Structure 1
Amino acid sequence: MRCKPMNSKASVGKRLFQYALCAKGIFIAAIIALAIGVGAELAGPFIAKTMIDDHMLGIEKPYFETTSSENAVSYNGHYYKRGDRFGEGEAKGQEVRLLQTGRDFYFVSQPVANPDGERKFENGQLTISRGGAVETYPAAKLSASELYSFYKLEIPGILKLVGLYCIFLVISIFTEFGKTYWLQSSANKVIQKLRTDVYAHMQRLPVYFFDTLPAGKVVSRITNDTEAVKDLFVAVLSNFSSGIIYITGVYIALFLLDVRLGLVCLFVVPLLIVWIVLYRKFATKYNTIIRSRLSEINAIINESIQGMSIIRVFRRQKQTSEEFEALNDDYMKHQNKMLNLNALTTHNLVNVLRSFSFAVILWYFGFGTLTGGSAVSLGVLYAFVDVLGRLFQPITGMVNQLAALDSSMVSAGRVFTLMDEPGEDVTDGSMPRYKGNVEFKNVSFAYKEDHYVLKNINFEAKQGQTVALVGHTGSGKSSIINLLFRFYDPQKGTITIDGQDVTALPKQWLRHHMGIVLQDPYLFTGTIVSNVSLGDAKISREQIEKALRDVGAERILAHLPQGFDEPVVEKGSTLSAGQRQLISFARALAFDPAILILDEATANIDTETESLIQSALEVLKKGRTTFIIAHRLSTIRSADQILVLHRGEIVEKGSHDELMKLGGRYYQMYQLQQGSGAAAPAPDSGIQAQPPVQAPSPV
């Protein structure tokens, strides 16, 4: 299913239409089935009209005496045949008529000039009164058997029409099934494509985008809003497309029955259009707030679940509940406004239109009958009322979907707004594994304009070296790692890897040879094995198990019932912090990165576990450029280079021994941690906290 991406400046409707073209074949099949079904259904009133006028009431048409018994009725020794059943050139004899008065039929042995009017039979005379004119004809009452002999010839025609009606009914049933199946199938494909595009675009959004938009709101747009768009293609499109085709078919039928009355009934169309425009004007305002509140509700639920332990420890249940209730109340208030709008503008207005239309019909037929200018047959009258009644079925269906239409359009607008956020370019392929020589040259960086959190950073890390970043909270350690991963780019200066500017490399290629171990590692739902490989087919089972053994995980995870295939729930909450960290170390080892970042990786590991992986860390760091963010300075004594940061600047640089001899900030920090009672470091007021380092997605 391929379709060209729509320009982001296009309207929501045009972009939805572009997505509909992704399944245009199925949509066209559904529309064709719909058109056939509408035609088959609207054939019913015409069949009924023919049955009434040509067969049930056709007995009152002129009959002529004939000498042939074929298609003729025998009465009083003579044969009579209906005038429209004579063949070409066949001689017609005396004209006679059969007219009904009350429940009885009478045989009139002469032509009747105008049979319409009030009829009365008395003393062998049939009187017809119309306006001021009165006409009298000699007549004889027909017995039941005589009347049946005239009706007998109509039975084959009636049975033929009944059979034709059944055929159209079967066609209508099959086309209804096809229409429903194909519309829903195509809608599901369109939404599948839309969801895939939204999720793929979300993967391309820069990391800083998620710093400002809560996860619950993103989830709401990918799930709730796309589901609302699905309603547009399933319910709204079905009702509106079938409604438009049905209304078109109804008007064609009305014009075929009576042109003037068809023109009179056209007033419904502009009223319906004005109705939809006015409704959407108010509904869009309400639905925009409703969808926004729903996103906020999802966001607060997600935040509450993530922080449930903190909420309970600090007894914040009441305050959290109040925040949720305030959002929920506002959501309900605007939902009630939508209910009021729907209650006022759905069935009530449809009933008004229906009643007004039938009043026009009654006036037209009644006035025409009285004046004698536009009298019609009973079959035409029945068919017209039947067809006009059918006109309001699709209108009711369309009106009932107006709320879903507006909600879907608002939701689609929110989805497209997310998709219009500028994303990072995705480049296929990869680059050869680089050595990992990293250099920062006069790098300055600000998350917000002119508020620099890194100032004139200069250092070089060569392949195989270990560089430690130390400093108080907010000193800029995490910001350096964010720049290295290209989650952000510096405003000033350059960062090079193996002498090549990182901004000249695709981000996915750059991160392909980087690995990270976070202080609080993130595990995905799956197994221990899948969390090590992250689904990368290039990493074999043997490599995964070797990585786990090399970091000492085999000993720590051996007691689990399924070993390395033990299921892992979201975030690995059933595993201890040490177990999660070991899996994270194995993940970094399995991907064999050229640059490795350890973000206080041993902070959550107990002393015994830490001793197990210290030797593994030495293996892990061998041949790689390793950056360590450390607060426990005892873990970085063997680092080749230690960078001491303070308020976004490198204030000291060197090995552990060199910095201790210097007796500066690093010396004070180290002595303080060792508990020697040395003087505390200088105050660090005004430090700005930085966003946390984000783990890169494997490319």
Structure 2
Amino acid sequence: MHYEEQEYSKRIDLDTFNKLLVFAKPYKKEILILIIQMILLALVDAIFPKLNQYAIDLFAAKRNLDGFPYYCILVIGLVVFQAANVRLMILNAGKVENSIPYDIRKAAFNKLQELSIAYYDRTPVGWIMARLTSDVKRLGVTLSWHLVDFFWSIFLIVIMTVMMLITHVGYALLVLSVVPFLVIISMIFQKIILHNFRKARKLNSQITAGFNEGITGAKTIKSLSIEGHMLNEFKGLTTEMKNFTVKAATISSIYTPIILFLGSIATGLVLWKSGSQIGEYAISYGTIVAFSSYAVQFFEPVKQFARVFTELQYTQASAERVVTLLDTKNDIIDSQEVIERFGGMFDSNREEWPAFIGNIEFRNVTFRYKEGGNILENFNLSIKAGETIALVGETGSGKTTIVNLACRFYEPTEGSILIDGV
């Protein structure tokens, strides 16, 4: 439970996500279709307030129902189109959500097969399990549903801004006047939320590692009678994670009402300004209704964008950890000449393998683990094929290390180990 992860960047790092976008390339067709669906979804959402404006100004205000049946057909058609578009979007996003994590997990598992035993010595199983499960799952959700919400929010904000400017420039500027305050508030909340989410993810890894130690090391724990110590340590981690999670949720719960409050201010500004102009017929009732709808609707995608922005910060903590695993350098690397002749770990060329005799030679081998002194120093040993030898020595003298080196679980610090003279 004492494994310490590296510290990561304090801000959203696009390079981290760029490294993971390679897993999205096989599904660029589905993602492109998703983006198009989001554009259409945002366009229809922005059209409805405009249709309400026309209905009030053309039918209600003038008490004239000429063309009303066509209006109803148009509205019903848009509703049906929107429903069909949403259904297809859900199916498409679901495919992306499940496919990308599958590819990331496969790549991560392949990486784990390539890594040496030394990696597993210094990395708890719980940390690895958290990367392959909860972190990868969160990445899949981000690259599908959060991507959907992100593009829907962006396109709807842009389209509604254009619609408002076309309808009435003055009222549009009133609604947009609160946006700078929103940007400033978002920047303030970013740092606080990201810090707490990173802490929570780090503690989640330690808790998963604690579960693993408690189960796989149950015999050792009971034989040493340290159940109380393990329980207190685990309880401390879970309590700390609960505190950080509650703090992050509290901050997020403050952020959303602020967005809604800004939306209410924008609506109030529109109603205040338009109230003095209705009697002068400078503005129609339909325009007021449309702008009231736009003022309320405008901050819904802004709120969604803020939510996705928060989730993106949460996801970065997961992305950083997955990328750390995928970018881990192996301690044992074959030369390019060996790979070209005999193949790699997953595509070995057995036809090129030389006949195996079984002679093993340790030649001036010195070995030490990353922490600590030399276990072996200028060690020499020659074992002929078919020989049976016994390694005798006190605990810690290096018997197990010799076997591990012969199996190439580790590379010698100095010297060389030859198999059949190679």
TM range (shorter): 0.7 to 0.9
Question: How far is 1:488 from its partner?
Answer: 1.7
Whose helix proportion is higher, 1 or 2?
2
Q: Which residue of 2 aligns with 1:498?
A: 420
Q: Distance in 1 between matches of 2:385 and 2:210?
A: 45
Partner of 1:14: 18
Alpha-carbon separation, structure 2, partners of 1:38 and 1:287: 30
Pick from 376, 400, 405 the counterpart of residue 283 of structure 2.
376
Distance 1:184 1:456 in 2: 59
Instruction: Indicate whether 1:190 and 2:190 are aligned.
Output: no
Aligned to 1:27: 31
Note the C-alpha offset of 1:171: 0.6
User: What SS is found at the alignment partner of 1:412?
Assistant: helix
| 8 Å Cα contact 1:40/1:171 also seen in 2 | no
Q: 1:285 and 2:195 equivalent? A: yes
Alignment partners' CA distance in 1, 2:218 and 2:401: 29
Specify the alignment match of 1:357 in structure 2. 266
Equivalents in 2 of 1:419, 1:410: separation in Å? 15
1:44 is aligned to: 48
Taking a change above 3 Å as real, the CA distance of residues 484 and 222 of structure 1, as seen in their structure-2 partners, is same
Instruction: Say whether the 8 Å CA contact 2:178–2:262 is kept in structure 1.
Output: yes
Q: How does 1:217-232 map to 2 (within 5 A)?
A: 217-232=127-142
Q: What is the Cα deviation at residue 291 of structure 1?
A: 0.9
Aligned match of 1:410 in 306, 317, 320?
Answer: 317
Aligned residue for 1:620? none
Aligned-partner Cα distance in 1 for 2:396–2:368: 13
What does residue range 264-663 of structure 1 map to in structure 2 within 5 Å? 264-346=174-256, 348-369=257-278, 372=280, 375-423=282-330, 424-425=332-333, 426-427=344-345, 428-429=347-348, 430=350, 431-448=353-370, 451-500=373-422
Measured after TM superposition, the shift of residue 48 of structure 1 is: 2.2
Structure whose CA Rg is larger: 1
Q: 2:121 aligns with which of 206, 211, 214?
A: 211
Contact 1:442 1:494 in 2 (8 A): yes
Write out per-residue CA displacement over residues 293-339 of structure 1, whole angstroms, 9 at most, x where no aligned residue.
Answer: 11111111111111223434554332221111111111111112112
Superposed displacement of residue 259, structure 1: 2.3
Distance (whole Å) between structure 2 residues aligned to residue 436 and residue 17 of structure 1:
46
Q: Which runs of 5+ in 2 are unaligned?
A: 1-12, 334-343
219 and 178 in structure 1: CA distance in 2 versus 1, 3 angstrom threshold: same
Q: Is the 8 A contact 1:443 1:495 kept in 2?
A: yes
Q: Aligned with 2:367: secondary structure?
A: strand
Q: Structure 2 counterpart of 1:381, which letter?
A: I
Structure number with higher relative contact order (C-alpha < 8 Å, ≥ 6 residues apart):
2
For 2:371 and 2:45, the matched residues in 1 are separated by 67
CA distance in 1, matches of 2:126, 2:397: 30
| Alpha-carbon distance in structure 1 between the residues aligned to 2:380 and 2:275 | 97
- Tell me which amino acid in the other structure corresponds to 2:192: F
Question: One-letter code of the match for 1:13?
Answer: F
Between 209-218 and 234-243, the greater mean CA deviation after superposition: 234-243
Instruction: Work out whether residues 174 and 266 of structure 2, in 8 Å CA contact, stay in contact via their aligned partners in 1.
Output: no
Partner of 1:628: none
CA distance in 1, matches of 2:189, 2:376: 54
| Cα offsets for 1:573-600 (capped at 9, x unmatched) | xxxxxxxxxxxxxxxxxxxxxxxxxxxx
| Aligned counterparts of 2:184 and 2:148: Cα–Cα separation in 1 | 21
How far apart are the structure 2 equivalents of 1:272 and 1:181? 33
Cα 1:16/1:449, change in 2 over 3 Å: closer
CA apart distance, 1:499: 1.4
Give the aligned partner of residue 559 of structure 1: none
Aligned mates of 1:45, 1:443 — CA distance in 2: 79
1:694 alignment counterpart? none
- Aligned equivalent of 2:159, options 220, 242, 249: 249
TM-score (norm 2): 0.87
The percent identity for this pair of structures is 27
Q: Deviations over 1:541-569 (max 9, x none)?
A: xxxxxxxxxxxxxxxxxxxxxxxxxxxxx
Q: 1:408 to 1:368 in 2, by over 3 A?
A: same
Provide the secondary structure at the position in 2 that maps to 1:58.
coil
Name the aligned partner's letter for residue 491 of structure 1: T
Q: Is the 8 A contact 1:235 1:401 kept in 2?
A: no
Task: Summarize the Cα distance change of 1:409–1:196 in structure 2 as closer, same or farther, 3 Å threshold.
Answer: same
8 Å contact from structure 1 (residues 236, 398) kept in 2 = no
* Residue identity matched to 2:406: L
Q: 1:239 to 1:271 in 2, by over 3 A?
A: farther
Paired AA for residue 366 in structure 1 = G
CA deviation digits over 1:626-668, x for unaligned, max 9?
Answer: xxxxxxxxxxxxxxxxxxxxxxxxxxxxxxxxxxxxxxxxxxx
**Aligned-residue offset at 1:402:** 4.4
CA–CA distance in 2 between the matches of 1:413 and 1:287? Answer: 13
Equivalent residue, structure 1, for 2:110? 200
CA distance in 2, matches of 1:335, 1:361: 38
Q: Report the number of matched residues.
A: 395
Within 2, Cα distance between the matches of 1:499 and 1:162?
Answer: 87
Gaps of 5+ in 1: 1-8, 60-150, 501-699
Query: Normalising by structure 1, what TM-score?
Result: 0.54
- SS in structure 1 opposite 2:392? strand
Q: Distance in 1 between matches of 2:371 and 2:216?
A: 31
Q: Could you say if the C-alpha distance between residues 189 and 274 of structure 1 is closer, same or farther in structure 2, counting changes exceeding 3 Å?
A: farther
Equivalent AA in structure 2 for residue 379 of structure 1: G
